[in-house]
Chain A
């Protein structure tokens, strides 16, 4: 069983979904991200760690062009999703975001019912043909988000009425329902208690079988628990990027070592 898993990982490890080369981000006059090169592999959880303000969230938001909504942000460099440059003028950011879903730091369910929250993506992208199909998608996504058993009797209740952990899992279900290829998660557990965090982490591990997951986290333990690849950012630079176990047990850069041993950050 274990051998099989390793074999699987070895096979998929060579198919990068997202390739970022020489990515620079400027917010007005401040240089937030400097020459970042990262490969996001298929069916892998990639963690971005680093102290506050190091650029890890900025880079994450580059991957689905959420920085477009910030007027002062300027992105240069090349980010390829399945070989296509996402900053090409011909690429519609709306379609890109359907392929690269995002879960935010603070749970942000829409002021709609639980059902409508999950059905939002499939509806706007026309992913289902009829109500029965939509019902099926909603149920399977809520199941994937480990929320189905808690909410199956009150799908019409407002999503905002759930607890913090449930809300975040609802947001994950909502993102999964759009059937993305890559799922970006910006500190998804920072507003959650340890039990809810454990549920979400378990969920991330399950999601790996279908998507590439990129997770920004402040918790190095979390990065070690859920990810296969880890990138360490510091002051806008990508300091080190490699297999999670290598980065945590045998860091090459002295800054990485200082950070993971708690001396900086």
Chain B
């Protein structure tokens, strides 16, 4: 029985439990609902939860544990030497698993019967060719042990599936009976259901946190293996970045950090004034009708994929900057440059800042504007001296969020600033950022045992720490001004 079908059955059963639980609570008080502690619906929900929750737990546990048990059982078919080496054992088990899937496929398309499968023997038949017919490709001929293990896995997983269905349904049934037996007028069904909902909310919020922890952990473990191969001092303080996949690379991280910070700086210089001025115009000066047109138009920019922005940088901004600024000023002949990428990322961030800042400015109470106008202040004095200071914490938060986005931007940098890691002050020179190099080091044939590949993880975790630091700074600033103003 498939897991999906089983899930459907559990859901149907809990639906039934809801109806039964609800009906039972009403009949307990012979229709006089006011005698119940909770509304009848809560009794229904509680009964449904006593069906759903334990059976899902059993299902999930079974799905996690069964493959482990199967692998342990199948390992017995392989010789001692294979079992001693964990890598060889994993490979052998993977093969056996693939063979067992192939056997299933043969049954499914009718080319072999159960009896024929049981009689299969590597000595008399070419199992590899048979498997190839059902689109299961193997790297080598199937060994006798592998076939035996596969047969065992098939049998065990079939009976496992049967027992799992039985166990889950038994738990669901017990849950239903238990849930129904709990229904009586004094039972506090509402409190129980609300507790369950609370649990669900906590679970939902913890998943995001756990994901972050998982990301950090996976990057950290790879970074540690990188630093075992490559000295951390040379990575963090090295002034040259020249990876060489045949060995002997110099992986100095400073040129990348410099490129990242330089491009981000240019982007913020472009985005903050333009975004902020847009927001002030929209929030304080534009008529409501005009605003309802301009705001969505600006926000269209936010919907353009960054690759398209990259094209814009490559074919328009880059050449213009080169022909009209870089070459006349004698600052270089490169179309891809820090300025190109920075300006385009800045434009990308304008709607982000303007939209956030517009909302923040709008949330400044009207009474402050009235107070200022009432003292004979002009609109511009009011904006500069009352509105902006009041909105400052939110605006700083918006700017730092935009900074994080600029730091993480990859596509525009790849197309607009090139891929040359350089330490230079000239903004019209091609440079590159950490994110571009992370992609660069991980694309193509990768060998996860070489420092050239693993450096991507070290860069990743550094980037993570960098943006985390920015976010903490943002929180600190916001909190500081909150204390002062509220």
Contact = CB atoms under 8 A, between A and B. Distances in A.
Contacts of B328: none
Contacts of A174: 371, 375
Contacts of A160: 485-486
Contacts of B390: 110-111
Interface string B203-224: 0000000000000000000000
Contacts of B370: 66, 69, 102, 104, 108
Given A97-B373, A108-B365, A110-B368, A158 B378 contact: no
B368 A108 contact: yes
Interface stretch (A22-30, A119-127, A194-202, A255-263): A119-127
Contacts of B303: none
B484 interface: yes
A124 B385 contact: yes
B376 A178 contact: yes
Contacts of B378: 94, 124
Given A110-B386, A111-B389, A98 B375 contact: yes
Given A108-B367, A108-B370, A171-B371, A120 B385 contact: yes
B486 A97 contact: no
A64 B372 CA distance: 13
A158 B371 CA distance: 16
A112 interface: yes
Interface string A153-175: 00000101000000000010011
Nearest to B392: A111
A95 interface: yes
Interface residues of A, number: 29
B375 A66 contact: no
Nearest to A159: B485
Contacts of B368: 108, 110-111
A112 B389 contact: yes
A106 interface: yes
A99 B376 CA distance: 8
B376 A104 contact: no
B381 interface: yes
B377 A158 contact: no
Contacts, number: 78
A120 B365 CA distance: 18
B374 interface: yes
A101 interface: yes
A34 B390 CA distance: 39
Interface in B466-486: 484-486
A110 B371 contact: yes
A175 B376 contact: no
B369 to A, nearest CB: 8
Nearest to B389: A111
B370 to A, nearest CB: 6
Contact of B374 (A64, A95, A125): A64
A95 B378 CA distance: 9
B484 A158 contact: yes
B44 to A, nearest CB: 48
A220 B263 CA distance: 66
A110 B376 contact: no
A26 B445 CA distance: 76
A160 B390 CA distance: 11
Contacts of A120: 372, 375, 377, 385
The 4 closest A-B pairs by CB, nearest first: A98-B376, A102-B374, A111-B485, A97-B376
Given A108-B368, A174-B375, 14 more contacts: A64-B374, A66-B373, A94-B378, A98-B375, A101-B374, A101-B375, A103-B374, A104-B374, A106-B367, A110-B368, A111-B485, A112-B385, A120-B372, A120-B377
